[in-house]
Amino acid sequence: MVKVVAVLYPGGPAAKEVPELLGCAENALGLGPLLKAGGHELVAITDAGAELDKQLPTANVLIATPFWPAYVTKERMERAPHLKLLLTAGVGSDHFDLQAAADRGITVAEITGSNVVSVAEHVVLQILALVRNFIPSYQEVIAGGWDIGKIAARSHDLEDKTVGIFGLGRIGQRVAARLKPFDVRVLYYDNRRLSAVEEQVLGVRYMHYDAMLPQCDVVSINAPLTPATERFFDKRRLAQMKKGSYLVNTARGKIVDTDALVAALKSGHLAGYAGDVWYPQPAPRDHPWRTMPHHAMTPHVSGTSLEAQKRYAEGIRECVTRFLEGRPLDREYLIVEGGKIVSPSYAYAYGKGT
């Protein structure tokens, strides 16, 4: 018998009303029938603290989502002697200690590509929310007001602006493609440059981040969290950004220094910040990003539209099925295998992999 532990968000009443809400603990990615048919055990929980610690000593497979993460550290892995597989229901496995998993021979996989469309759409949504000053406009209506001057004073056209994309992978490329109709100039930085043909098709121009940041009216962060990108946007790099520019972060909260961002918004150096990624997650009620000025934050929902949930649930069921049958996982999904970090997105920062 195999024991699968899934740490997922609570669906509440919506879990019954909307069966397509597969990513919640109540519906557990549709794994129930699959595991029950094989005589295996499924434990779906929402508590990534004490309840998870209770389940770890007998778990063989652990599943978590990036937006309701189970932070699986080296110490937790040491308390899970039977753990063989860590799965991310979605994209981004930084909530797992990848080096510790590699050292212990634990396989790590995520459902690559499952939510790239959802996140890219959210990026464009949040860029427009900031540039057009949408959130204060909405709040003005709710409050019963009609102060056109106050709203229009911070509202701009996106057309003719310069947008920088930090990390031009699957999501970043889709962001660039979706921005083309807005007639913006798109610059990008990535540790792997595209070919000239790819750049031409997307309408993007490569530039090192030190040169890119001061030129951009908007910067979108679409890079994975690694040791190289953690707190990359610190006080110094935020100061490099153009005064009055906007920063959008749908990647990971720890890529941006929490306090430095608040200071940059309060001083007016940045005109606004939007994103749906925080650290830690779920964000505590007193997290300073909840109350900082000129923000358009959401609670990490960009990559979990119903369509995205269907895609990553299908991918998780495929991975679990292959594991149960002793077959290798799809190589596209693999982050850690055979004691090595094999995903290019993570390997360059850890110095591991192929």
- What angle do the packed helices 134-142 and 116-131 form, to 10 degrees? 70
Calculated CA dihedral for residues 264, 266, 267, 271, nearest 10 degrees: 70
Query: Of 231, 240, 255, nearest to 209 (Cα)?
Result: 240
Residues 6 or more apart whose Cβ sits within 8 Å of residue 214: 240, 241, 242
Instruction: Give the end-to-end CA distance of the chain in Å, rounded to a whole number.
Output: 34
Instruction: Give the residue numbers marked as catalytic.
Output: 115, 252, 281, 300
Residues 6 or more apart whose Cβ sits within 8 Å of residue 151: 133, 136, 137, 140
**Residue type for 212, please?**
M
Cα–Cα dist 350/354, whole Å:
11
Q: Does the N-terminal peptide bond of residue 19 adopt cis geometry, omega within 30 degrees of 0?
A: no
- Within 1-115, residue ranges assigned H as helices are 13-17, 31-37, 50-55, 74-78, 98-104
Residues 6 or more apart whose Cβ sits within 8 Å of residue 179: 124, 127, 163, 186
